[in-house]
Every structure is written in structure tokens, then in C-alpha cells.
Amino acid sequence: MKFTLKKRERNTSARRGTLVTPHGVIETPIFMPVGTHAAMKAMTPTQVRETGAQIILSNTYHLHLRPGEDLVAKAGGLHAFMAWDGPILTDSGGFQVFSLPNKRITDDGAYFRHEITGEEIFLDPARAMAIQEALGADIIMAFDECIPYPCDRKYAAISTRKTLRWAELCKKAHTRKDQALFGIVQGSVFEDLRALCAKELVQMDFPGYAIGGVSVGEGLELLKRVVEYTAPFLPDDKPRYLMGVGLPEDILESVERGIDMFDCVIPTRYARSATLFTNRGRIRLTNRKYRRDFYPVDPNCSCYTCRNFTRAYLHHLFNANEVLSAILSSIHNVHFYLNMMAEIRRAIEEERFSEYKRTFLDSYLKGK
């Protein structure tokens, strides 16, 4: 996998790059829609492609539980199984489980109790590598502990050292050369732990680095600070992935501070609960005020949904509990995110990212 920096912004740390993977080229900064169970919810691969998505995410933990990585491998791997011929990244998905009470973390790994069957699953570096290698994603993530927020410094220090030890074990266990293994920086909100973790991971020399342990309830101010003091320790010529981020405003602030890759369930999850993104903020389509509103969701949007349907129609679909409501809303929200990323890339190329961010947020946050 090869990352090339194409442009650095003069007055911010925003950067424009190209990431070449075995399944295609990714233009960064990029947003990666999340397809947890090897599927983008309510969208076909063709529809996902049409939104401008270049790379999608799937979750190791969930696919290990069902249908199991051996079955996916027998199907020819994730790309064949889900008919997505673009790049795929697998993260743990254990994050959701990490945040659940029913898990036990030891020095060697983590025990997750399956919320449905109650069956206990043990994940450790070697197993996490074996599962992701069988699934066949282009980018796989080191097995780490996502430190919850808040947490005391002592716990964060011990956990961060463990994540570093696990990163070493992942590197040893990872054999497939056509897969890129990214290291994950932990350290909670403690600047010195973040610096120490980043420096030691860089010493291990990964093809890319993620900043983990964020978007765990710390809020935008702390997120900005963590990114601000962690990103500079990461190599300029390697991709930087901020896990689980986020809302449009979180993404803009993090691009400004040097992040290249993002993932979040927000666009797809909000779509299914009728919350849609527009360049004047979010709208709740089940609200009665859209009953007779014959405008598109976002008059400036060029997606299939905005070109063919009105807010009144989507309001009706949600009221009638039609499956089509989830499909059309997901197409719009994912398109909205990917369109924003395309505008960000152009703004960086034309050295006007700060102005783009200000204009976008003025309209988006104040509904101007």
C-alpha cells in the first residue's frame, strides 16, 4: 500500500493525499461509511458507489461471531462475499463491545460475552490478525484496548503500555503482505501518554496509524486537543485515521489538524431514524412541518434522492414505515458526507480550506 502526499495547506495542517491499495485508489481526506456485518445497511454496493464512497468498513468482532471468518474466506473473502470491489478496512467492532459492561480485559486479550447468544469470545492480537487475514480486508487494525472516557491516568498508562505490547504481537502475527496493518495510538486525554504511544508505534514502523480512544464521549474540545498534540508525532508520509469520527464539524476540525481518514456510523444510523444532513444543518423528516414540503431534502444536493423525491414524500415514507425511507435517506446522508469530503479535497488543492470550513460551518451550524 502506498500513500503519497500531494498538497499541504499553507496555514493549517490540512493535507491532500492518495492511498493506493490492491482494490483501488483512495483520495484523502476521505470518509469511510461503516458496513458492520459486511453490508451497508439499506444500500446496495452500486448505490454505495454512486455516493462517491471509495472505501468501506466492516467489523472483525461481528463477522467472527456471524457468519465466521472461515465462511467468508470460503466465499473468496469480504470483497467477493459482499460484492464490493473497492478497498475495505476492518476494525474491531469490539469498540461497541468494549463499551458494553459484559467484557473482561486481561493482560493477554479481551473476553467478550455475545449479547445475543451469551457465548463468550476471546480476542487477542494473534486471533485478531488471523480473523482479519481470513476476512481479506485491504487495511486491518492492530488489536488494542480502547480506553474509555473518563479514566484515571494510572489506568490509562497501564492500558497504553498493554496496547503497545499488543501492537508488537500483531506485527509479528501479521503475515499477509497484501494487507496493510495500521497501529492504533491510545493514551486517553493525557498528552504525554499520547506522545509516548505514538513515538513507540512509529518505531515499530506501520504503513499507517490510527488515533483511537476518541469519539468515546470526550466531546469536541478534547477531541481537537488530542488530535492537535498526537498527529505531529505521526510520520508525514503515512496515512492518519481518526477512529469513529464523526459529525461534519468534528471531521472539519480534524482535517484542519492533519487527519486523512474517518469512519462513523452517524450518516447511516441517523438516516434510518429520519435525521438527514443538509448544508443548513440537520432536519428531522418525521416532523409535521415537512408534511407538505415539496422541496428536495437539500436543494444543493445532487444525490439520487434529492434529484427524484421531496421532503413530503420521505415524510410520508417514514410515517408509513416504508423500507424505502431507510434506503433513500441512507443514500442522501452518505452522499452528503462524501460530497463534503470531495469539497474538502478541492479546497485543500486550491489553498482555501480555512475559508471553506468557515463558510460550511456558518451555513451548517447557524442554518443560514
Ligand X SMILES: C=CCOC(=O)Nc1nc2cc3[nH]c(NC)nc3cc2c(=O)[nH]1
Does 283 sit near Zn ion (CB under 5 A)? Answer: no
The smaller minimum CB distance to ligand X, of residues 9 and 91, is found at 91
Tally DSSP H helices, then E strands, for the chain. Answer: 15, 16
Known binding residue 332? Answer is yes
Does 303 sit near Zn ion (CB under 5 A)? Answer: yes
- Residue from 215, 254, 268, 333 touching ligand X (CB under 6 A): that is 215
Cβ within 8 Å of residue 159, ≥6 positions away: 145, 147, 151, 186
- Residue from 55, 193, 243, 326 touching ligand X (CB under 6 A): that is 243
Known binding residue 329? Answer is no
Does 244 sit near ligand X (CB under 6 A)? Answer: yes
DSSP for 5-63 reads EEEE-SSSS-EEEEEEETTEEEEESEEEEB-TTSS-TT--HHHHHHTT---EEEEHHHH
Cβ within 8 Å of residue 90, ≥6 positions away: 57, 58, 59, 60, 63, 78, 132, 135, 137, 139, 140, 141
Does 301 sit near Zn ion (CB under 5 A)? Answer: yes
141 binds, among Zn ion, ligand X, none (CB under 5 to 8 A by kind): ligand X
Q: Which of 117, 69, 96, 30 is nearest to 344 (CA)?
A: 30
250 binds, among ligand X, Zn ion, none (CB under 5 to 8 A by kind): none
Interior/surface letters 106-132, b for 16+ CB within 10 angstroms, e for the rest: eeebbebeeeeeeeebebbbbbbbbbb
3-state secondary structure of 123: strand
Does 92 sit near ligand X (CB under 6 A)? Answer: yes
70 labelled catalytic: no
- Residue from 43, 55, 82, 146 touching ligand X (CB under 6 A): that is 146
Cβ within 8 Å of residue 7, ≥6 positions away: 15, 16, 348, 349
* Shortest reach from residue 172's CB to ligand X, in Å: 15
Residue 126, all three cell numbers: 494473534
92 binds, among ligand X, Zn ion, none (CB under 5 to 8 A by kind): ligand X
138 labelled catalytic: no
* Shortest reach from residue 159's CB to ligand X, in Å: 10
Between the two ends of the chain, the Cα-to-Cα distance in Å is 42
Known binding residue 213? Answer is yes
- Residue from 42, 55, 223, 306 touching Zn ion (CB under 5 A): that is 306
* Shortest reach from residue 221's CB to ligand X, in Å: 17
97 binds, among ligand X, Zn ion, none (CB under 5 to 8 A by kind): none
Does 311 sit near Zn ion (CB under 5 A)? Answer: no
Does 125 sit near ligand X (CB under 6 A)? Answer: no
* Shortest reach from residue 140's CB to ligand X, in Å: 7
Distance, in Å, from the CA atom of 112 to the CA atom of 120, rounded to the nearest integer, reads: 6
Known binding residue 306? Answer is yes
Dihedral over Cα of 151, 153, 159, 165: its sign: positive
Does 167 sit near ligand X (CB under 6 A)? Answer: no
* Shortest reach from residue 123's CB to Zn ion, in Å: 38
Residue 319, all three cell numbers: 410515517
Known binding residue 264? Answer is no
Distance, in Å, from the CA atom of 283 to the CA atom of 103, rounded to the nearest integer, reads: 37
Contact 187, 194 (CB under 8 A): yes
Distance, in Å, from the CA atom of 261 to the CA atom of 259, rounded to the nearest integer, reads: 6
Pairing relation of β-strands 103-105 and 180-185?
unpaired
Interface size with ligand X, residues (CB under 6 A) = 18
- Residue from 57, 89, 137, 141 touching ligand X (CB under 6 A): that is 141
Q: Which of 91, 124, 250, 298 is catalytic?
A: 91
The smaller minimum CB distance to Zn ion, of residues 174 and 311, is found at 311
Distance, in Å, from the CA atom of 76 to the CA atom of 301, rounded to the nearest integer, reads: 37
Binding-site positions read 91-95, 144, 186, 213, 301, 303, 306, 332
Instruction: Give the residue numbers of the binding site for Zn(2+).
Output: 301, 303, 306, 332
Q: Which residues are near ligand X by CB under 6 A?
A: 60, 91-92, 94-95, 128, 141, 143-144, 146, 184, 212-216, 243-244
Task: Write out the catalytic residue numbers.
Answer: 91, 263
